[in-house]
Amino acid sequence: MAARGIRRVAMLSAHTSPLDQPGTGDAGGMNVYVLELSRRLAARGIEVEVFTRATSRHLPPVVEADEGIRVHHVAAGPFEGLTKGDLPSQLCSFVRDVLRVEAWHEPGYFDLVHSHYWLSGQVGTVLRERWGVPLVHSMHTMAKVKNASLAAGDRPEPVGRVAGEEEIVRFADRLIANTAEERRELIDLYEADPRAVEVVHPGVDLDVFSATEPDDEPPLVVFAGRIQPLKAPDVVLHASALLDVPHRVAIIGGPSGSGLDRPTELTDLARELGIADRVEFVPTVTQAELATWYSRAAVVCVPSYSESFGLVAIEAQACGTPVVAAAVGGLTTAVADGVTGTLVDGHDPAAYAAALRPYLTDREFRSDAGAKAVRHAESFGWDVTAERTLDVYAAALHDREAAREEAG
């Protein structure tokens, strides 16, 4: 039986597919979020239909991703060669094909729309009006927040995105924020109605990410994520160059965003800093392989300029690995400063070197933080995320029904 009376959800992930491998291109934490949330909803008897843009003519129109989860590859614009910045001009085609899918069914086929990222949110505002169902939206990142803390060499988000996000905030029945800080940003920067913004933390797959004892010597520092200025992998390399203690560094991930313009920048930097012999560059890996890397590490470093949450930090802690992270966005929630890791103000490599040092030199200190990290991560399971999300769905549906009765 479907939970909370919800039978079917249209899940919108227009610019990136939940079936893509996280860590390269536009695939990252949001891909994990959409797929894992969909799995937990399906396990509760709710059918989830995910709509994402087709990036190859060879993709099947529909994929049964898991029991109860159907992924639609929507043809919207050229299959290849489009960047995320090109996609706003293709949204009309995307909307048309999503409407076409729903038109094959009886009215009321979908109970609710849940959109992810602003491009999907633009589509969601149209579907909300056409189908007469609530729109729940998750920002994941916000232009005004990103533009306030740009990395050197990174491009600011365009005014069109800002306007699009403001429109979504006006129309969405509920907004899901990853953290209390993101909730404040939606209210303060976008004038969101406080009654419409709910905090639901993302989760971690505790079956995949679990603790083992690190056995690498010399101790290993891991960075995992898309290779772009926003994620600041260069800070990890600069910090490593300042450390005079034995250690190695693994940079895991593929180029993304403005990082695509300079694909050899990090390898060149490692050579310039004289640390190429201690740095390993690892292409994007599966979730299971990533868990192995986390478990091998003495510490994971997440020096991002902006993070709506920072799933890498929670995944690492679930593996018993402490985290050194920037004190920005959701990382201040994901990492318990001074308990499961260390939060660093700013992006000075010297500050990161100082924060990393005790985890590399003091095994007892590292083990104690790692044990606490496991307990901290256990409160972020995806089942908790799914239950809280269902509460948000139910509230949006209740308000929509109440408005109909009042209007009637």
11 annotated as ligand-binding:
no
40 annotated as ligand-binding:
no
Q: Return the ∠ at Cα 305 (arms to 137 and 365), rounded to 5°.
A: 110
DSSP-derived pairing of the beta strands 279-282 and 299-302 = unpaired
Helix boundaries (H) for 159-310: 159-171, 180-190, 233-242, 265-273, 287-296
226 annotated as ligand-binding:
yes
247 annotated as ligand-binding:
no
231 annotated as ligand-binding:
yes
Report the 10 Å Cβ neighbour count for 396: 23
Q: Return the ∠ at Cα 341 (arms to 146 and 277), rounded to 5°.
A: 85
N- to C-terminal Cα distance for the chain?
30
Ordered strands of the 323-326 beta sheet: 279-282, 248-252, 220-224, 299-302, 323-326, 341-344
321 annotated as ligand-binding:
yes
359 annotated as ligand-binding:
no
Task: State the residue for tokens 């994402």.
Answer: 52
21 annotated as ligand-binding:
yes
315 annotated as ligand-binding:
yes
60 annotated as ligand-binding:
no
84 annotated as ligand-binding:
yes
178 annotated as ligand-binding:
no
Q: Note whether 363 and 18 are within 8 A (CB).
A: no
Q: At what angle do helices 349-361 and 233-242 cross, to 10 degrees?
A: 70
* 124 torsion bin: left (phi>0), alpha (psi -120 to 50), beta (else): alpha
241 annotated as ligand-binding:
no
Query: Binding site for Mg(2+): which residues?
Result: 294, 297, 321
Query: Binding site for UDP-N-acetyl-alpha-D-glucosamine: which residues?
Result: 21-22, 29, 226, 231, 285, 307, 315
Query: Binding site: which residues?
Result: 15, 21-22, 26-31, 84, 117, 141, 161, 226, 231, 285, 294, 297, 307, 315, 321
Query: Binding site for 1D-myo-inositol 3-phosphate: which residues?
Result: 15, 26-31, 84, 117, 141, 161
